[in-house]
Structure 1
Amino acid sequence: MGEVVLHPASDLISDSEIPAIMGQIRPQWQSKGLIERVRRLLPVDPSSACQRLLNAAVQDLREKVQIAGIDIAAEVATAHKLPPINRGDRGAEDIENYSTAKLIDLSYRMGLLSRPEWRKMTRAYDIRRDLEHEDAEYEAGIEDCIYIFKTCVDAVLSRDPITLIHVSEVKQIVQASGPVAWDPDLLTDYEHAPDTRQLEILKFLLSMALNDSEPELVRGNCYTLIAEISPCTRDGVRVDLAKHQMDKIGRVPLTELQVRVAHAAGILPYFRKAQRTAFFRNQLETLEKIGHRWRANSSHGTALRQFPEFGGLAAVPADVRVQIVRWMTLCYLGEPGGYGTMGRNRKVFYSNSAAPLIEQMFKAGREVIRDDLSGLQDDRAVKRACSDGDVARRFQNLLDLVDV
């Protein structure tokens, strides 16, 4: 029997992080012969070991695409101009015939790989092609092995397959006989769902949340769920959803419910500026009718509590925002006190219900309102109010709040 000749870099390989990386491969693949062959080849032929490990990762991706759903794979392939995939029995065959490069692209578009993982897998495939076609000129070095092994294991072979969430599952959740209870696993499934599936789910939730004929509980559940999944929604999906909603709304004025739901979904900034301006101008008119004097204290809370649900001051177009900031500032400042049975020991009379809400909104929107507030130092009404030292200190409190 011939003696096994170890590769010159075998000691480096055995001392590297590769053995630990191999231990991260999930049990389903650890037991397969292909991985065992990789272990045996690594000390004697690192190039072949790298090729076989990437082959294992590619086969794993093919299986994961089918588990995720041939229907969604077909949608994604069409949307991103990849080789077509049939929705019927031939779909599995189409996926098996996908080239490695296109399969990596498909996996990324389906959400099975993140963008950084897609780029790394593409680079790993390029290295494998170098090893495959240039054996006489190029052999795998320790750096190639580590890159391919770490990429294939971290991005693919260590991870369980993902079952993509369906709209029917979301429908069951929001129609349950009680407040919505979102399963963290479903949130993970939504996060990894491709753009087409995320968009499909959000269209359903928005239509239910805005439908007056639906029970209040269901609409509330939809609103809650929209807000909960919003951080996991990709920007491209937001843009497409905003276009969809704008087409449905047309050019009529926005309602408070539409703005509240749009903000929860993260699509309000994509709405037409003219409509957003008109909406917040109406909110300003409501505030001005109430008045900023402290005697209107009982009405301030109701009017101001809605603003965070509308996106806060950051959502207000600049030309209207400066006027709203002015109203809130005057409301917060109040007027000199020190008189009356109840106010003798109170140096400034101001709206108790409005002040904490204004502080919260100014703090949350400080990046966008800093110049607006600073500019009010020259406003006639503000200067008149600040002629009293105690009131002036309240204005300084606001300036300090946005300068943090």
Structure 2
Amino acid sequence: MDEVPGLMQKIRPDWQAKNLIERVRRILPVDPSSACQRLFNAAVRDLKDKILIVGVGIAGEAARAANPKLPPIQNAEDVEHYTTSNLIKLAYRIGLLSRAEWRKMTRVYDIRKDLEHEDSEYEAAFEDVVYTFATCIDAVLSKDPITLIEVHEVKQIIEASGPITLDTRLLTDFEHAPDQRQQEIVQVLVSTALSDSEADVVRENAYLVLQELRELIRNGVRLAVAKILLDRLGRTSLDELTVRVAHAAGLLPYLHKGQRKDFFAKQLAKLSDIGHHWKQHEAHGPALRLFEEFGGLTEVPDDIKPGIVKWMVRCYIGEPGGYGAGINRKVFYSNRAAPIIKELFLNSRSDIQKIVEDLQSDKDIRRSCENEHVNRRFQDLLDIVSS
């Protein structure tokens, strides 16, 4: 039991000051089963209080959206009367517990039931105590009550005229916000970023905030917002702005494959029109930098990807030099394109490794690589994708 006192030091100060936690400390050495039950009861009480802070409206929506549905919630009293099992599920659905924490708290509830109903047959073992205390404290009692992030807070940020920053607390509040609130915020940001009627600075700020929040948006929220975006698009083709915004929010994989295929086929056609020759270097930078904003080569559909990768390889490896003003250059290649292509390949190497390796037998690439200096640049790309 030596590690348990150290775990209890992690409990929030407001709970540390309560008699319940002090009683847990006192009875732990003599009655570990009761100590486990009391600490679990404290965690359940804390979850109830946090749910009430989130609000009855959000809790009720989460209960309706759960599968299977949870008992309806219309007022605070309904939360108070929730069974412990349903309360833990509701906390997970709202976002107060991660999936792993929900499963752990459910196992602790099973331990508590054994301790409560089978006292004569079951006593808390060392592992029961450590598991109960570690889970209840790490998942619940050490965490501050969340502040439910409001949509208007995010609107105020993107409407600022100067540089925008998202502080750690706001990011944390968004991460733990219920799906419904995350969805409301992401919808506002996507709609603003795509709106022709908004000022350019506001649209760009919305785009930047989406990039900041991207990794915190849950998959269910992405799917819901993507459906709304698809309804808005209908059969309209994807444009560059929509793809940029969709990628910033992590929605791009959820859009129709046919629309994504048509879009990237047009990007390949644009690259082909520009040409991979080094003399077109001025046009290469703007065209290739867009791919970074489209999610890199990973987001390109598989049937379009080989064509784009081949174009980039030919642009990167260049052609034999050693003449004219560049007499001292062994290879003439696009200085604007090369670093961007290298970065794109590095970031997507697992997706394009086979494509690049297969190009060793491509007649155009083989013809170019007859020159040892050009071939060396192709070998550099092979090293990048296989690293």
Which TM class, normalised by the smaller chain length? Answer: over 0.9
Over residues 184-204 of structure 1, what are the superposed CA-to-partner deviations in whole Å (9 max), with x where a residue is unaligned? 100000111122211111111
Q: Does 1:401 align with 2:384?
A: yes
Partner of 2:342: 359
Distance 2:172 2:108 in 1: 26
Partner of 1:21: 7
Correspondent of 2:57 among 71, 80, 91: 71
Correspondent of 1:265 among 228, 249, 255: 249
Distance 1:344 1:193 in 2: 62
1:66 partner amino acid? L
Q: Does 1:246 align with 2:246?
A: no
Conserved? CA contact 1:77–1:84, under 8 Å: yes
Q: Which has the larger radius of gyration?
A: 1
Q: CA offset at residue 236 of structure 1?
A: 2.0
Distance 1:355 1:43 in 2: 67
Q: Does 1:347 align with 2:333?
A: no
Q: Does 1:378 align with 2:345?
A: no
Q: CA offset at residue 143 of structure 1?
A: 2.1
* Unaligned runs of at least 5 residues, structure 1: 1-12
Conserved? CA contact 1:209–1:222, under 8 Å: yes
Correspondent of 1:197 among 174, 181, 191: 181
Partner of 1:387: 370
Distance 2:16 2:278 in 1: 71
**TM-score when scaled to structure 1?**
0.92
Partner of 2:149: 165
Partner of 1:174: 158
Conserved? CA contact 1:179–1:217, under 8 Å: no
Distance 1:42 1:207 in 2: 55
Query: Which aligned pairs between 1:31-42 and structure 2 lie closer than 5 A?
Result: 31-42=17-28
Distance 1:93 1:36 in 2: 28
Distance 1:172 1:109 in 2: 28
Partner of 1:54: 40
Q: Secondary structure at the match of 1:306?
A: helix
Distance 1:24 1:348 in 2: 62
Distance 2:345 2:16 in 1: 55
Q: CA offset at residue 68 of structure 1?
A: 2.0
Distance 1:344 1:28 in 2: 75
2:302 partner amino acid? A
Partner of 2:72: 84
**TM-score when scaled to structure 2?**
0.96
Q: CA offset at residue 75 of structure 1?
A: 1.4
Conserved? CA contact 1:68–1:161, under 8 Å: no
Q: CA offset at residue 296 of structure 1?
A: 1.2
Partner of 1:9: none
2:298 partner amino acid? A
Q: Secondary structure at the match of 1:181?
A: coil
Distance 1:93 1:26 in 2: 26
1:358 partner amino acid? I
Q: CA offset at residue 26 of structure 1?
A: 1.6
Q: CA offset at residue 141 of structure 1?
A: 2.1
Distance 1:275 1:268 in 2: 10
Correspondent of 2:196 among 209, 212, 216: 212
Over residues 272-293 of structure 1, what are the superposed CA-to-partner deviations in whole Å (9 max), with x where a residue is unaligned? 1111111011111111111111
Distance 2:318 2:8 in 1: 68
Partner of 1:338: 322
**More off after superposition, 218-227 vs 241-250:** 241-250
1:194 partner amino acid? P
Q: CA offset at residue 106 of structure 1?
A: 0.8
Distance 1:203 1:130 in 2: 45
* Unaligned runs of at least 5 residues, structure 2: none
Q: CA offset at residue 98 of structure 1?
A: 0.8
